[in-house]
Structure 1
Amino acid sequence: MGKPVVAVAAALVVLCSLFSPGVAMADTAEPSSGGALVRCEYIPTPDKPAAKPVRPPFPWTLARGTVTVTLHTNHGKVVMELDRAGAPCAVHNLAHLAWSRFYHDTQCWRLTDYERLGVLQCGDIFAAEIGGPGYRFADELTGAETYPRGTVAMGNQGPDTNGSQFFLVHSQALIPPAYTVLGRVTHGMDVLDKIAAGGIIPGANEHDGEPRLPVHINRAAVRY
């Protein structure tokens, strides 16, 4: 009974891709084995509507392979290799938002340089923690997540509140395994180092605030 269900699901992905610009062609391939295709649930958040026009991703995606997303910033390119196997729904979501131009002309509002937490947080449209895609989705965690230098992970405001926010680790992040790991930075760590070295405009804490060198994402490009 499993094979017909997978085949039907894959056919639905193909059909939807013809009409939905948020689905990439890489998501239309029928898996060679049962487990490669997964269903994701993107739940509307009426109390937090989309900050920019965007539809939720199509719910079916692959759980294998990688996706490359390149952030073209005012300081240079940051290339991220995202692993579908580790977090298929989160990778599908970030690629969809990049493809949909949700991250175009946005700003990374938060930089931290604590000894135990050094990250650049991006993906919020209006300010840190404000301005998401109008939906949320569940964490994808094993409980063994770590966040060394170069890690790309989802930001959240509590369990299962993922949306458009993500962070890039420029030093290390010794934090609980509560944030879905998307992948890693493969090019552009020098860009993150430059941003971190520029310092922080202190907020409530001198180690946490807006980057003193403003960080603008001019556009985000996706390669499957």
Structure 2
Amino acid sequence: MVLIVGAGLFALSGSNDDNAAVPTTAPLSSTTVAQSLTESGLPAPKPKAALVSCTYAAGTGPADKPVTKPERIEVPTTGAAAAVNMSMRTSAGSIGLALKQAESPCTVNSFTSLVQQRYFDGTSCHRITTGAGLKVLQCGDPTGTGMGGPGYQFANEYPTDHFPVGDPSAQLPVDYKRGVLAMANAGPDTNGSQFFLVFGDSQLPPQYTIFGTVDAEGLATLDKIAASGSDETNGPGDGKPKVPVEIESIQLGS
């Protein structure tokens, strides 16, 4: 079925009526997650130009928290500048992030800009799904409703950009593996600030930009959040986290 909640859209294989379950998979390192991506039906990442030009267009509404579009629009994909690590401190624990600027440079550039402007600080993770087909925690909306954003939007990157336009296989579900960090959207090329963290292998069409991975400590934090479940306002296994999760800060560096 297709489940749409405000600006966050997820298409999943199966039904959200599946019994909620906390994944029992052992935590994976970021390296292991990266190696497993191509085993999930996703295409292998293709090398990009050493410098990528990014476009950030006006969104459908104003920013829901004071913020500006990224000042940098020429983004490197190689060398030390492309290695971006972050530490996300939440009310439930720390979550380390390794961002993939070589594969999704414009997404990482936007996320980094939002972090530097403290856009995410003091915001809540507004949705968790724990069904058999989708195990994600969704964050990045200052309004906490699933409708908020930064007032600008930008195009999908990996893996969407690896499929030819009109390719029917781009609508078939693949595995977004445990440990993946990806963007939520409301349709093609509508990325803004909402993102999701995958705590259990999930089935989605490759229409959600993957731009990083979660470290082992972060996966343990996500498992703890998932164990508390959702308030099921969107149906069984889908709603706001039963125990509220607030992003206290996100900082550059591991």
Q: TM-score, normalised by structure 1?
A: 0.81
Alignment of 1:1-224 (within 5 A): 35-45=49-59, 47-57=60-70, 58-64=72-78, 65-140=82-157, 141=160, 142-143=162-163, 146-186=175-215, 187-223=217-253
SS of residue paired to 2:232: strand
Range with bigger deviation, 103-112 or 134-143: 134-143
Deviations 1:192-215 (A, max 9, x none): 000000011011311110000100
| 8 Å contact kept, 2:125–2:246 | yes
Contact 2:123 2:144 survives alignment (8 Å): no
- What TM-score comes out, normalization by structure 2 length? 0.72
Q: Compare relative contact order (CA 8 Å, sep 6+) and give the higher one, 1 or 2.
A: 2
For residues 59 and 129 of structure 1, the distance between their equivalents in structure 2, rounded to whole angstroms, comes to 27
Do the aligned residues in 1 keep the contact of 2:67 with 2:117 (CA within 8 Å)? Answer: yes
Q: Which amino acid aligns with 1:168?
A: L
Q: Aligned to 1:94, what secondary structure does the other structure show?
A: helix
1:146 positional shift = 4.0
CA contact (8 A) 2:135 2:202 kept: yes
Give the partner amino acid of 2:61: K
**Number of corresponding residues:** 190
Query: For residues 211 and 177 of structure 1, what CA distance do their matches in structure 2 show?
Result: 25
Larger radius of gyration: 1
Matched-pair contact (CA < 8 Å) for 1:69–1:98 = no
Deviations 1:28-54 (A, max 9, x none): xxxxxx921111000012x41011111
Calculate percent identity across the aligned residue pairs.
42
- Aligned-partner residue type, residue 66 of structure 2: P
Structure 1: 5+ residue runs without aligned partners? 1-33
Q: Could you say which residue in structure 1 is the equivalent of 2:13?
A: none
1:175-201 CA-to-partner distances (Å, cap 9, x unmatched) read 110100011001311100000000110
